């Protein structure tokens, strides 16, 4: 530890104290977590959940563990330094966050969480204090309660700070899932709009009471497992009708309200995963797809007439000679009978559109669009579970990904072929000057 000089204490947790420190060798500012208990064997150190998980996880939105040092039976974790935690940012905030700021912060948290869950861990203690912020970058930290997804129950009863604790944990479930992280994300998302906690319970009973006042009382149709847990702990839910969340969070859009309600579902099986949450319309405002593109194999089976026609239309929206505003419409015109989409029947003729907005670039920069070669069959396009996010069109601009129309309730799109994947197309076309509207191929 000689190479580090402690500057000041910046945190005091249950397991350890955190200090801001200077690396004398390279003048780098770091954060050092000094564990409170003694460690007499190196194997003890390596078996800590925080050490095991962070050694395997490497993501831009997960705090970076630089090294682990054991000295005189004391254990030190050396982390990258971040300026603040999200709790401090919200506490010092004088005006509400804009929805754009909230969208940026939460999309980063969900990307880190999706990576974590995909690699076999769930956090179990997500809260604003454990989300570290430097300018517009946010990272998940404090993996002291992290657990492997495939580990066998029973799990620890006490996980997460009470205000962000999922109902199944409050009711002493011993076999909860990574869905408890998603509940915490929903509570944090609401708090970013409100600048105060959504469920600030003073005890576990009061916590359930506050949840009931907003979500309403669950029953067998809402959460069957919850009714079993209720009886197992000799508890009776408080009787309330669901509140209008828009009245509680008036500055939140309908998309945000819908996502919060999905994440804070009583039933953990109904909560979207981190990956699914990133596809919610809240993160794709300004982009629009009336109905999901069908799987190419299903489309082939249903097709009774001519092959589908693919159109690509481009417009120049520029008003000045040096402006180059680009709009794209990709239309699929299947010659097939009436199709059912959800509970709606679309009558012929119909079109599926991928409509991108808000892109503008300068004529001095090259913009690349993938185009199908003339001999490429649309049915050969490979299937991908979701559209990549986002599509980069230049070094300084990016497009929003595909979403769905605005409404008061939203469903996640089904698996669909990715018609914009570069590998599915032929040569690239470079557009470096303003273009006029024209049909490029049919």
pLDDT in tens, 52-102: 999 999 999 999 999 999 999 999 999 999 999 999 999 999 999 999 999
Question: What is the arithmetic mean of pLDDT over 342-368?
Answer: 43
Question: What is the arithmetic mean of pLDDT over 209-232?
Answer: 96
Q: Supply the pLDDT for residue 177.
A: 92
Does residue 305 have a pLDDT over 60? no
Q: Taking the CA of residue 37 as centre, how many other CA atoms within 13 Å lie in the half-sphere pointing to its CB?
A: 8
Question: What is the arithmetic mean of pLDDT over 336-357?
Answer: 44
C-beta separation of 176 from 268 below 8 A: yes
What is the spatial distance between Cα 158 and Cα 375, in angstroms, rounded to a whole number? 60
Range list of H helices, 1-138: 42-46, 49-56, 86-91, 99-118
Report the candidate in 327, 306, 309, 328 with the shortest Cα–Cα distance to residue 318: 327
For 119-182, the DSSP string reads TTEE-S---GGGEEEETTEEEE---TT-EETTPPSPPPS--S-GGG--HHHHTT-SS--THHHH
Q: How far is CA 176 from CA 179, 186, 275, 277, 401, in A?
A: 8, 17, 19, 19, 32
Lowest mean pLDDT among 191-200, 265-274, 283-292, 405-414: 405-414
Architecture of domain 85-283: Orthogonal Bundle (1.10)
If one compares 377 and 283, the residue with the highest pLDDT of the two is 283
Question: What is the arithmetic mean of pLDDT over 113-141?
Answer: 96
Question: What is the arithmetic mean of pLDDT over 3-20?
Answer: 90
CATH 1.10.510.10: which residues of the chain?
A: 85-283
Q: Supply the pLDDT for residue 178.
A: 94
> CB atoms < 10 A from the CB of 406, how many?
12
Question: pLDDT-based confidence at 11, cuts 50/70/90?
Answer: confident
3-state SS assignment for residue 392: strand
| Interhelix angle 254-263/179-194, nearest 10 degrees | 150
Angle ∠(314,320,322) on CA atoms, nearest 5: 80
Lowest mean pLDDT among 259-273, 278-292, 311-325, 364-378: 364-378
State yes or no: is 247 an active-site residue.
no
Helix (H) / strand (E) element for 183: namely helix 179-194
Report the candidate in 102, 95, 412 with the shortest Cα–Cα distance to residue 253: 102
CATH 3.30.200.20: which residues of the chain?
A: 4-80
Q: Which of 125, 142, 258, 361 is catalytic?
A: 125
- State what percent of residues in the chain have pLDDT above 70: 62
C-beta separation of 246 from 194 below 8 A: no
Mean pLDDT taken over the chain: 76
Q: Supply the pLDDT for residue 382.
A: 45
Q: What's this model's pTM, rounded to 2 decimal places? A: 0.66
Q: Supply the pLDDT for residue 176.
A: 87
Does residue 304 have a pLDDT over 60? no
Does residue 315 have a pLDDT over 90? no
Q: Supply the pLDDT for residue 285.
A: 79
Does residue 126 have a pLDDT over 90? yes
Q: Supply the pLDDT for residue 14.
A: 74
Identify the bridge partners of residue 439 per DSSP, sorted by sequence position.
313
Q: Supply the pLDDT for residue 276.
A: 97
Question: What is the arithmetic mean of pLDDT over 180-197?
Answer: 98
Q: How far is CA 224 from CA 11, 156, 183, 235, in A?
A: 41, 22, 18, 15
Encoding tokens for residue 14?
């249950």
- State what percent of residues in the chain have pLDDT above 90: 54
Lowest mean pLDDT among 53-57, 317-321, 347-351: 347-351
* Cβ neighbours of residue 79 closer than 8 Å, sequence gap 6 or more: 30, 31, 32, 33, 63, 64, 65, 66, 141
What residue ranges in 241-366 does DSSP mark as E strands?
Answer: 309-316, 323-333, 339-341, 344-346, 352-356, 360-362
Q: Supply the pLDDT for residue 393.
A: 36
What is the spatial distance between Cα 314 and Cα 327, in angstroms, rounded to a whole number? 6
Can you name the CATH fold of 4-80? Answer: Phosphorylase Kinase; domain 1 (3.30.200)
Question: What is the arithmetic mean of pLDDT over 3-25?
Answer: 91
């Amino acid at each position: 530890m000689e190479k580090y000089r402690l500057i000041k204490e910046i945190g005091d947790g249950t397991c350890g104290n955190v200090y801001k420190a200077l690396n004398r060798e390279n003048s780098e500012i770091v954060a050092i977590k000094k564990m409170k208990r003694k460690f007499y064997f190196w194997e003890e150190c390596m078996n800590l959940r925080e050490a095991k998980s962070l050694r395997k996880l490497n993501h831009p939105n997960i705090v970076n563990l630089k090294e682990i040092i054991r000295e005189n039976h004391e254990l030190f974790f050396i982390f990258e330094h971040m300026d603040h935690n999200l709790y401090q940012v919200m506490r010092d905030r004088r005006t509400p966050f804009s929805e754009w700021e909230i969208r940026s912060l939460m999309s980063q948290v969900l990307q880190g969480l999706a990576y974590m869950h995909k690699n076999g861990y769930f956090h179990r203690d997500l809260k604003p204090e454990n989300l570290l912020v430097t300018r517009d970058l946010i990272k998940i930290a404090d993996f002291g309660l992290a657990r492997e997804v495939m580990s066998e129950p029973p799990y620890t009863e006490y996980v997460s700070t009470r205000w962000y604790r999922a109902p199944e944990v409050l009711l002493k479930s011993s076999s909860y899932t990574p869905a408890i992280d998603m509940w915490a994300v929903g509570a944090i998302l609401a708090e970013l709009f409100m600048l105060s906690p959504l469920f600030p319970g003073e005890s576990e009973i009061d916590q359930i009471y506050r949840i009931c006042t907003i979500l309403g009382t669950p029953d067998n149709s809402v959460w069957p497992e919850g009714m079993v847990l209720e009886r197992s702990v000799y508890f009776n839910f408080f009787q309330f009708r669901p509140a209008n969340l828009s009245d509680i969070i008036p500055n939140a859009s309908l998309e945000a309200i819908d996502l919060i309600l999905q994440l804070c579902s009583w039933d953990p099986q109904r909560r979207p995963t981190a990956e699914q949450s990133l596809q919610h319309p809240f993160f794709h405002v300004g982009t629009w797809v009336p109905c999901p593109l069908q799987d190419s194999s299903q489309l082939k089976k249903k097709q009774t007439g001519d092959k589908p026609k693919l159109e690509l239309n481009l417009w120049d929206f520029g008003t000045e000679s040096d402006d180059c505003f680009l709009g794209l419409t990709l239309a699929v015109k299947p010659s097939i009978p009436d199709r059912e989409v959800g509970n709606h029947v679309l009558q012929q003729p119909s079109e599926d559109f991928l409509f991108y907005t808000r892109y503008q670039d300068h004529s001095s920069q090259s913009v690349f669009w993938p185009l199908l070669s003339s001999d490429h069959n649309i049915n050969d396009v490979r299937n991908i579970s979701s559209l990549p996010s986002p599509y980069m069109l230049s070094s300084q601009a990016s497009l929003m990904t595909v979403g769905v129309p605005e409404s008061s309730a939203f469903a996640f799109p089904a698996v669909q072929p990715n018609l914009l994947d570069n590998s599915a197309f032929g040569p690239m076309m470079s557009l470096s000057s303003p273009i006029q509207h024209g049909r490029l191929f049919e």
